[in-house]
Amino acid sequence: MKKIPHDPNEIIALVNEKDEVIGKATRKETHEKGALHREVFVIIQNRKNEILLQKRKDNLLWDSSSGGHFPHNQTYEEAAIREVFEELGVKIKKTDLEKVAKEEIHSTKIVNNRIVEIFLIKKDFKLAEFNIDKMELEEVKYFSKTELKQMLKKENQTTGVVAKILKKYFLVNK
């Protein structure tokens, strides 16, 4: 049976500020209570330093390459591997994942308090290799860093969280 995108009854881990599991609840209960939980974000970057983003079907905004909530009994790495496969239809290995950061993020538009682990995958996937989940995604596209900076100057192009992550970790001048 196929996984329901954004299943409100999916059991996810509740955590404290130290990212220690303190319980579990459904996704719906977690959001209703504003409880702190775990999510994973994956950014795919090709050899040209272009970043893959996905356009969500639910809000038509560009978001991380892959990611989201995950079952209480998975690690961040396992969740990243599963999310990439479910959303993008490509298999990756744990060794493909480069941990970028872990941070606590709070969203108020939709109550969503979470600790997010952010991973980078440096791999040359061609767009034709992706078999995207059409229930969840409208499309995927690579963007140059210049294109991303221009996009982020406009409103309602990306989710707020991906805008923050891109600016903080991927579009900084190093």
User: What pLDDT, in 10s, does the model give residues 127-161?
Assistant: 999 999 999 999 999 999 999 999 999 989 999 89
Is residue 101, in this structure, part of any structural domain at all?
A: yes
- Quick check: 162 pLDDT over 50? yes
Number of folded domains in the chain? 1
Calculate mean pLDDT across residues 51-55: 98
Domain, as residue range, for 68: 11-170
Does residue 2 fall inside a structural domain?
no
> What pLDDT, on the 0 to 100 scale, is given for residue 1?
36
CA distance 136 to 106: 23
| pLDDT score recorded for residue 7 | 84
- Note whether 174 and 78 are within 8 A (CB): no
Residue tagged 């409880």 (tokens) = 35
Q: Which residues contact 153 (CB under 8 A, 6 or more apart)?
A: none
Residue 69 falls within a domain, yes or no? yes
Q: Are 68 and 152 in contact (CB under 8 A)?
A: no
Tell me: the pLDDT tens digits for 58-108? 899 999 999 999 999 999 999 999 999 999 999 999 999 999 999 999 887
Give 5's pLDDT tier (boundaries 50, 70, 90).
low
Residue with token string 């221009």: 150
pLDDT number for residue 146? 96
| Residue written as token pair 């961040």 | 76
Q: Given a cut of 60, is residue 12 above it in pLDDT?
A: yes
Q: Residues, the chain, total?
A: 174
The whole-number average pLDDT for the span 30-48 is: 96
Asked whether residue 1 is domain-assigned, the answer is no
Q: Among 15-19, 61-65, 113-117, 170-174, where is mean pLDDT lowest?
A: 170-174
Nearest one of 45, 63, 79 to 138, comparing CA atoms: 63
Supply the CATH number for residue 121's domain: 3.90.79.10
